[in-house]
Amino acid sequence: MTKTPHAIRLVFIADGTSVHTKYWSTEFMQRGYDVHIISFTPEPVEGVKVHQLKYFGKIAYPLRIWSVRRAVRKIRPDVLHAHYISNYGVYAALSGFNPIVMSAWGDDIDTGPERSRIVKFFVKFALKRAEVVHTGDELGKRRLIELGCDKRKILVQNWGIDTDLFSPTARSQALRKRLGIEDSYSVLCARYWSPEYHVDVFLRAVPLVLGKMPNVKFILLGGGILEKNLKELANNLGIDRNVLFLGKVGRDEMPAYLASVDVYVDTITDFVTNASGDGPPRRGGGGIGQTTGQAMSCGTPQILSDQLNARMGDWFRGIMYRQSDYRDLAQKIIDLLPDEKLRKKIGEESRKVVLQSWNLEKTLKMWDSIYNELSGLSASERGS
């Protein structure tokens, strides 16, 4: 494959179904990069070259490594950026290529390495192979150092929020009417419907809220494997008329949803569960949830569990409830919804935090500088 002069060939090895992967690759394609995605789960992205890796089944790990190495050799990137260290980061480390950037997404450094000695071994190996290791906050940096990462190559930087797109001006009366919330209070939760996000806590709080405030609608976005279970729970609790299960919503639609509701709730906790209901505690590294940041940018007040990242960070301006305690969550919702003055204050202060610290354009310029610097390293090592 030939490369256009001066166009950096940037390859993301990542989950191809991720909204973040698609958005990030599109942004740099529009900035003139020759962008490729390598993934076991590819989906088309306009203007980006997508390469599918063959999975070869659960036990064929060597063949998957060979598949990755073959794809990287064929594409000949200037920079390889791996997302989710315990999965694609390990494959990038075994590709034989450098320079490599790795981005931690949360559980890949947080709880994943604690589940298995083998996973921890490979995560540590991957961290040693990377030129730059990216995490969203200081807790993530601390966790990376615990895993043996050289602190000199750790980059602490949130992903950035498009503050023009995610703005109070995205509030949509048409959407409010369609959802039936124009004359009622509304509370939204946008975590995926899978065990580790504890969305059931949100639903269990609903009847307690309705007992005090019957004029409230609850909206669930995200979708996931627990859809049937959660709908059955809503039915058993007798709240199905007040709960809207809307599933997965595209990025272009999210600003209107986040700006049009009265309160945003995040149910993530410091404890990750699997299908059996158990798992290791989180140790930091997840940073702020991207959707939480987007809600903040929209000026929508948030209620989060008192999990580590919310307690330790200096970014949170909303209200906390005791994690996994649906009664406490219900009370916080009951307290906040009728308090318009407090909701407005939280929304304005949250928006200010995002404008000051999470501006997307500044973030993209920083990454542009990093990719250019690493591309120069790549060229010198190739002797070109």
User: Residue 124: which CATH number?
Assistant: 3.40.50.2000
Q: What is the pTM of this model?
A: 0.82
Question: Are both 188 and 114 inside the same structural domain?
Answer: no
User: How many Cα atoms sit within 13 Å of 212 on the Cβ side?
Assistant: 14
Question: Are both 177 and 314 inside the same structural domain?
Answer: yes
d(CA 40, CA 55): 6
d(CA 361, CA 142): 26
Question: Are both 349 and 363 inside the same structural domain?
Answer: no
Paired tokens of 368: 């542009």
Question: Are both 254 and 148 inside the same structural domain?
Answer: no
Question: Are both 15 and 145 inside the same structural domain?
Answer: yes
Question: Are both 148 and 21 inside the same structural domain?
Answer: yes
Question: Are both 177 and 140 inside the same structural domain?
Answer: no
Number of structural domains (the chain) is 2
Question: Are both 107 and 178 inside the same structural domain?
Answer: no
Those residues of the chain that have pLDDT short of 50 are 1-5, 274-277, 285, 382-384
Helices (H) and strands (E) in the chain, counts: 15, 13
d(CA 107, CA 130): 19
What integer pLDDT is reported at residue 282 of this predicted model?
57
Distances (CA, A) of 185 to 48, 178, 240, 268: 42, 14, 16, 23
Question: Are both 205 and 136 inside the same structural domain?
Answer: no
Distances (CA, A) of 291 to 11, 161, 303, 374: 25, 9, 13, 30
Question: Are both 179 and 136 inside the same structural domain?
Answer: no
Question: Are both 239 and 174 inside the same structural domain?
Answer: yes
Q: What values do phi and psi take at 82, rounded to 5?
A: -100, 135
What integer pLDDT is reported at residue 3 of this predicted model?
47
Domain of residue 339 covers: 168-357
What SS3 state is found at 251?
coil
What integer pLDDT is reported at residue 207 of this predicted model?
98
Question: Are both 51 and 143 inside the same structural domain?
Answer: yes
